[in-house]
Structure 1
Amino acid sequence: MASVTASPHPKPETGSAARPGAARARKFRRRLRTRIVWSFVLLGFCLTVLFAYASILARQRVENQLVEDVMNRNLEETWRRFVSSGGTEAGAPVQQMKGFLYRPDKLDSLRRDFPDWEHLDDGIHTLSGTDADGKPFSYRVGVRKTPNAWFFLTYDMGQVALGEVQFRRTLWATVGLFTLLSLIIGWWSASRVMSPVSELATRLRAYRGSSNPTQLGPLFPEDEVGELARALDDYSQRLTEVVQRDREFNADVSHELRTPLAVIRGATELLLGRPNLEPKIQARLLRIQRAEAACTDLIGSLLLLSRNERGQGSSNVARVADQLLDAHRAQIGGKQLELIQQGNQDLVIDAPEAALSVALGNLIGNAVKYTHEGTVVVRVLDDAVEVIDSGPGLSEEDAGKLFHRGYRGTHAGHSQGGGIGLSIVSRLCELYGWQVSVRPGAQRGVVATLRFRPADSATA
């Protein structure tokens, strides 16, 4: 049995358990409201951080400029007083600074008290470190050296550093406050922005199943949401027209095909009722009768698929399988092939025989078609039916494309068929909640399994 035509894609049987959680995660990540809120939060956070950083840089620059300017003025004032007094007076330091004057004969005390000052050049210098008690210190030193005296002017930066720490804390608190404010504003703005979109989605959900939904465009203002509502109205109208034409076409085709099939059925029954029929003619008439029944079942199933409606009725799986095997025995021809039906004879499912015949018939028909010798076994289980063949088996390429409409497997060759049989089986399984799977046989061939819903199975 060729894998492509005898076995459906394993997709209906796997991957369904993880889909709800993944769908919820994608929905959470992609919610427009959440994206708007986060955009506001990030914008507020980035702007306030940028403002805080710029404020710190500006404060440091202005502070350094002011301190240096004040210290330079004090150095000039000290030098002016020293010169005007004939070298006897250095002047008192101003603006909470300390001044130091060292004559050349007093440099030993400078080296003892402030060893780091001796090698400083003229200008403003920053000194920091820890004192003998381990406490940190930081101050500015203004230096003016002349042959007659060395002037030093110090400015304690401790209070400035403390003020800078407090300033930074205030700025970071402001960043947090503005970020929280951005979150609140973003949440409020997102609610206002998304309110009409949510209302549009609510109205769309309310129209589900309605054959004549109300126009959405007049319910919304002339903005982007109103434009979207009018586009949805246009799309809904065109889609309704397409669905209506499709339904009319399906109904017309079903009616026009059922009429000639009824004529064929009546003529076949009339001819089979005649006595003394030749065996060859009787075999051909029986084949025509089986083909007519298969076409009727297929038309009914396709019509239900087009309407997405389940047919009513119940089916004995073993009896339908036996009928399908009898129909295929007449088409084996010269093949050395044995068709066997085994298993539970009392499995009944809540589905019409037409749907079961189409789904199971495709599996059996393709198994017979691609198995040239050996056996095709239809085994009815408690809640499923297996079609086991001794054909060429299943390739990996075929396994990934079995349900693709129009795909014909590597073993199809020049055989007849459009590659839509398994597509129909797949759609029937989705409609009735069945599951199909395929696996390689124990030695060769393929095992195709059609598993019914637990709620649909019962014991006769």
Structure 2
Amino acid sequence: MQATDPALARLPRARRRLRTRIILSFVLFGFALTTLIAATTVYMRNRVESNVLGAALEKNNNMFAEGFYRNPTAVGIPFEKIQGRQFSTRKLDKVPPEWRDLSNGVHDVAMPAQASGEPRVYKLAVRKDPDYWFFLAYDIAEERESQQKLNSALVASVGIFTVFSLLIGWWSAARVMSPVTELAQRLRRSGTSSSPEALAPHFPEDEVGELAKALDDYAARLTEVVQRDREFNADVSHELRTPLAVIRGAVELLLARPELDERTRTRLSRIQRAELQCTDLISALLLLSRNERAVGQCDAARVAQQLLESHRAQLAGKPVELRLEGAATLPLDVPESVLSVALGNLIGNAVKYTPSGEVVVRVLANAVEVSDSGPGLSAEDAAKLFTRGYRGTHAGHSQGGGIGLSIVRRLCALYAWDVRVRPGDGRGVVATLTFG
């Protein structure tokens, strides 16, 4: 069964399982924490190393300059991994091009090594006096290499601790979710019986135990409601069928009397049709309340003809023509009462909302189509047509509680049928009941 309903189009979004969320939380927390520690370690190492080396180079460069002023004949001061050079401001062309524009202070400079020609990275301390420029270069290639090794180790540690967090999260999720999984399994097993098993005694006094108690309470209340509903349906079915059977018998006896005038006979026939309609409706509602399909057979064409005859007798001078077209027979494996209720509501609505014109019932290969020449179908009606209690915009002061099409929708869902209502080609409405 399909009907126009905007609420059905809003499907809930897919959600992750609770176990997956717990595992992801551990993984993300472990990854974020180890990444933060690694980044902080690299930052602090670089900062401390830069500050210590910079201060040492500036101090040594100043000592180099003061030593030069004390003994200008010295070419340079040999340090381990440190090279000091001074240049006269009259011979700045001898200053390496990479050093000329540097300001006083400590800079990172890349220069090719004289032996291998590969680029080497230096910390270069610069001091520019009016007469001389002093440079102190410190080779930090080994420090850079050790820094790269440290970074690789930190990246590896991030990966290791992330995997470790995944394992911890997996184990923790299994421990946390095991009582919830057990609760779900017990609840699934208890749902197959009319008297569900109590869940709370199987769980400790914790959050899962509280949930089990709430489910037990809900199951008890739901079982009580279902039992009341079943008893009510059985009582109503029995108590209504008895007076209806009495009415049927009395009407049949009265109709058998030959001295009845035509007016009385017409009224008795109307009572007989109303009794049959009530009996069919009770049977259909009882099936819906039990959510079970009844076994039977009927001919859709014959049922449609009977329904048209019944409505034709109730027109009371209303200028509406009722017509049956299409196939002569359409056998169905369904009780006649169910088809009468479903098809009768469609025909009844067509007759009710057609002030003048015609209502045509067409028996197709696997469906019955009901079309009328009424005022048509508005957008609001199309959206809410099968909603329980909704009465169309053209209902006016007509009788009815707006549950007829809701019953049709439920019967279609029970028997895997399809009902569609659409505007007619020129005017009116076309309702199609397709059988599965």
Same-fold call, TM cutoff 0.5: yes
Please tell me whether the aligned partners of residues 307 and 344 of structure 2 are also in contact (alpha carbons under 8 angstroms): yes
Matches within 5 A, 1:23-62: 26-27=13-14, 29-62=15-48
Listed one character per residue, the Cα deviations across residues 279-334 of structure 1 (whole Å, up to 9, x for unaligned) are: 00000000001101101111111111111122221111112111111111110111
Q: 1:389 to 1:340 in 2, by over 3 A?
A: same
Instruction: Report the alpha carbon displacement of residue 37 of structure 1 after superposing the two structures with TM.
Output: 2.0
Instruction: Report the alpha carbon displacement of residue 366 of structure 1 after superposing the two structures with TM.
Output: 1.2
- 2:190 is aligned, of 185, 207, 210, to 207
Please tell me whether the aligned partners of residues 419 and 432 of structure 2 are also in contact (alpha carbons under 8 angstroms): yes
In 1, Cα distance between equivalents of 2:197 and 2:365: 49
Please tell me whether the aligned partners of residues 2 and 418 of structure 2 are also in contact (alpha carbons under 8 angstroms): no
In 2, Cα distance between equivalents of 1:134 and 1:276: 131
Listed one character per residue, the Cα deviations across residues 356-390 of structure 1 (whole Å, up to 9, x for unaligned) are: 11111101111111112222122212211111212
Q: Which moved more, 1:152-161 or 1:49-58?
A: 152-161
1:111 equivalent in alignment to 2:89? no
Query: TM-score, length-normalised on structure 1?
Result: 0.86
Letter in 1 for 2:242: T
Counterpart in the other structure of 1:154: 137
Counterpart in the other structure of 1:287: 270
Relative contact order higher in (CA < 8 Å, ≥ 6 apart): 1
Cα RMSD of the aligned pairs, angstroms, is 2.9
Please state whether the residue corresponding to 2:195 is helix, strand or coil.
coil
Letter in 1 for 2:31: F
In 1, Cα distance between equivalents of 2:71 and 2:343: 122
Please tell me whether the aligned partners of residues 141 and 154 of structure 1 are also in contact (alpha carbons under 8 angstroms): yes
- 1:418 is aligned, of 371, 379, 401, to 401
Please tell me whether the aligned partners of residues 77 and 84 of structure 2 are also in contact (alpha carbons under 8 angstroms): yes
1:189 equivalent in alignment to 2:205? no
Listed one character per residue, the Cα deviations across residues 320-349 of structure 1 (whole Å, up to 9, x for unaligned) are: 111111111110111122212223233221
Q: 1:370 to 1:407 in 2, by over 3 A?
A: same
1:169 equivalent in alignment to 2:169? no
Counterpart in the other structure of 2:416: 433
1:309 equivalent in alignment to 2:295? no
Counterpart in the other structure of 1:126: 108
Please tell me whether the aligned partners of residues 295 and 334 of structure 2 are also in contact (alpha carbons under 8 angstroms): yes
Counterpart in the other structure of 1:275: 258
Matches within 5 A, 1:212-361: 212-361=195-344
Counterpart in the other structure of 2:121: 138
Please tell me whether the aligned partners of residues 139 and 156 of structure 1 are also in contact (alpha carbons under 8 angstroms): yes
Instruction: Report the alpha carbon displacement of residue 45 of structure 1 after superposing the two structures with TM.
Output: 1.9
Which stretches in structure 2 are left out of the alignment for 5+ residues?
A: none
Which stretches in structure 1 are left out of the alignment for 5+ residues?
A: 1-7, 454-460
In 2, Cα distance between equivalents of 1:360 and 1:412: 19
Please tell me whether the aligned partners of residues 10 and 436 of structure 1 are also in contact (alpha carbons under 8 angstroms): yes
In 2, Cα distance between equivalents of 1:130 and 1:399: 82
- 2:367 is aligned, of 381, 384, 388, to 384
Q: 1:287 to 1:92 in 2, by over 3 A?
A: same
Query: TM-score, length-normalised on structure 2?
Result: 0.90
Please state whether the residue corresponding to 1:64 is helix, strand or coil.
helix
Counterpart in the other structure of 1:97: 82
Please state whether the residue corresponding to 1:297 is helix, strand or coil.
helix
Q: 1:134 to 1:282 in 2, by over 3 A?
A: farther
Counterpart in the other structure of 2:3: 10
Instruction: Report the alpha carbon displacement of residue 35 of structure 1 after superposing the two structures with TM.
Output: 1.9
Q: 1:361 to 1:121 in 2, by over 3 A?
A: closer
In 1, Cα distance between equivalents of 2:71 and 2:336: 127
Counterpart in the other structure of 1:3: none
In 2, Cα distance between equivalents of 1:436 and 1:118: 89
Letter in 1 for 2:93: R
Q: Which moved more, 1:351-360 or 1:283-292?
A: 351-360
In 2, Cα distance between equivalents of 1:46 and 1:250: 61
Please state whether the residue corresponding to 1:400 is helix, strand or coil.
helix
Q: 1:93 to 1:385 in 2, by over 3 A?
A: same
Q: Which moved more, 1:329-338 or 1:339-348?
A: 339-348
In 1, Cα distance between equivalents of 2:324 and 2:200: 61
Please state whether the residue corresponding to 2:122 is helix, strand or coil.
strand
Instruction: Report the alpha carbon displacement of residue 177 of structure 1 after superposing the two structures with TM.
Output: 2.5
Instruction: Report the alpha carbon displacement of residue 121 of structure 1 after superposing the two structures with TM.
Output: 5.0
Letter in 2 for 1:304: L
Letter in 2 for 1:33: R
Please tell me whether the aligned partners of residues 9 and 400 of structure 1 are also in contact (alpha carbons under 8 angstroms): no
Identical aligned residues as a percent: 59
Q: Which moved more, 1:117-126 or 1:362-371?
A: 117-126
Please state whether the residue corresponding to 2:282 is helix, strand or coil.
helix
Listed one character per residue, the Cα deviations across residues 73-129 of structure 1 (whole Å, up to 9, x for unaligned) are: 43355456557x66555874434211224467xx52x53142454565554333346
Aligned residues: 435
Q: Which moved more, 1:311-320 or 1:162-171?
A: 162-171
Counterpart in the other structure of 1:4: none
In 2, Cα distance between equivalents of 1:245 and 1:439: 39
